[in-house]
Structure 1
Amino acid sequence: MSTNLLRPELGDFSSIVCFKAVVVGVEEALGEKAAAIALLAAGRLRGKNLAKELQLSASNAPLDQLAALLNKALGKDGTRLCLVDNILEVDGTYQVFCRETVCSAGEPQGSNRNLSFTLGAVQGALEEITQKRLRGKQIASVLRGSDHDVIEFGVL
């Protein structure tokens, strides 16, 4: 085992089942809206730190390059939070196309669950990279018929 692992025997990853139990438990303790705010803030901090770790702060790298870098860091070769397929700039907003998000995992079709931690992580990374304050909202969901979870970020 690598000495860089946070846990020498179990490694750096835990199950989606446990993560989802944290989300549901926080929702039950704080209520749905307060939990969403807390999870988004936690994700945002994670995303900012990730961008710093990748030395992307204030880089304003091309969006296709950012999508590939975020996919590597957050996808199957990274933390496995989600797959980032594409980032587009549309009418002054950023649209991020994700699949297999941890927030949507295991949810039944038609569920009203939205991205929280995942949205925050992507937002934090984009904010750190672009040096712009963003507001994000989910505009499409794999749980409600889309082939991607799509997050749209407007500049504040």
Structure 2
Amino acid sequence: MTTTDSLRPHLGDFSSVICFKAVIVGVEDTLGEDGAAVVFTRAGKVRGHNLVAELGLTGSNVPIEELAGFLNAAIGQDGTRLAAVTRSYTQGENVIIETQDTVCSAGEPAGSSRKCTFTLGAVWGALEAITGRTYLGEQTESVLRGGSSDTFVFSPL
């Protein structure tokens, strides 16, 4: 969507990481960390499902190894800039998605316990919409805690 098609004709479709992080912190302050995690993960899943529908990929069963490219185009540098999706692969029955530069990690100090709940949810929702399968998702690595990426593992249910 271009700026002229936007509901915000002067500023366009994007806002700052700083403002998004303020929303996250405010919701965490109101609902607590666990309550906010549920809300943001679910909101991310809805976004992921909608994104896949917008791209016409619902039920397309894109090979897992190609998923990173599709997701990165949509939410990476050339998309909404939520996160760079750098790798997608399977490990046994699990699907692994690696990301960099996530919104949740922006401005966080090394060692922070912050998790990428919205990004996890967005990738999770996209994966389920593309594959038609149900998964249980979790973040297993974080760049904030010494990981090489923010890594999400999805186990089929």
- The CA RMSD over aligned residues, in Å, is 1.0
Secondary structure in 1 matching 2:49: helix
In structure 1, the partner of 2:150 is 149
Provide the residue aligned with 1:138 in structure 2: 139
Q: What SS class does the counterpart of residue 99 from structure 2 fall into?
A: strand
TM-score for the superposition, normalised by structure 2: 0.96
Instruction: Describe how 1:72-151 pairs up with structure 2 within 5 A.
Output: 72-151=73-152
Equivalent positions of 1:27-106 (< 5 A) are: 27-106=28-107
Q: For 1:86 and 1:41, how far apart are their aligned partners in 2?
A: 23
Measure, in 1, the Cα distance between the counterparts of 2:121 and 2:114: 15
TM-score, normalised to structure 1, is 0.97
Out of 56-65 and 80-89, give the one that drifted further.
Answer: 56-65
- Report the counterpart of residue 18 of structure 1 in structure 2: 19
Deviation string, structure 1 residues 35-57 (Cα, Å, up to 9, x no partner):
00000000000000000111111
Query: Which residue does 2:10 correspond to in 1?
Result: 9
1:6 CA displacement: 2.8
Report how many aligned residue pairs link the two structures.
156
Gaps of 5+ in 1: none
Q: Distance in 2 between the 1:5 and 1:26 partners?
A: 27
| Structure 2 contact 140–153 (Cα < 8 Å) conserved | yes
Cα deviation, residue 115, structure 1: 1.0
1:110-129 Cα deviation digits (max 9, x unpaired): 00111100000000000000
Looking at structure 1, the residues matched to 69 and 119 of structure 2 have their Cα atoms a distance apart, in angstroms, of 17
Q: CA–CA distance in 2 between the matches of 1:44 and 1:54?
A: 15
In structure 2, the CA distance between the partners of 1:12 and 1:2, relative to structure 1 (3 Å rule), is closer
Deviation at 1:65, TM superposition (A): 2.2
**Paired amino acid for 1:92:** E
Runs of 4+ in 1 over 6 A off after TM superposition: none
| Mapped partners of 1:2, 1:143: distance in 2 | 34
Q: Percent identity at matched positions?
A: 52
Q: Unmatched 5+ residue regions in structure 2?
A: none
Distance 1:2 1:11 in 2: 4
Q: State the secondary structure of the residue aligned to 1:40.
A: helix
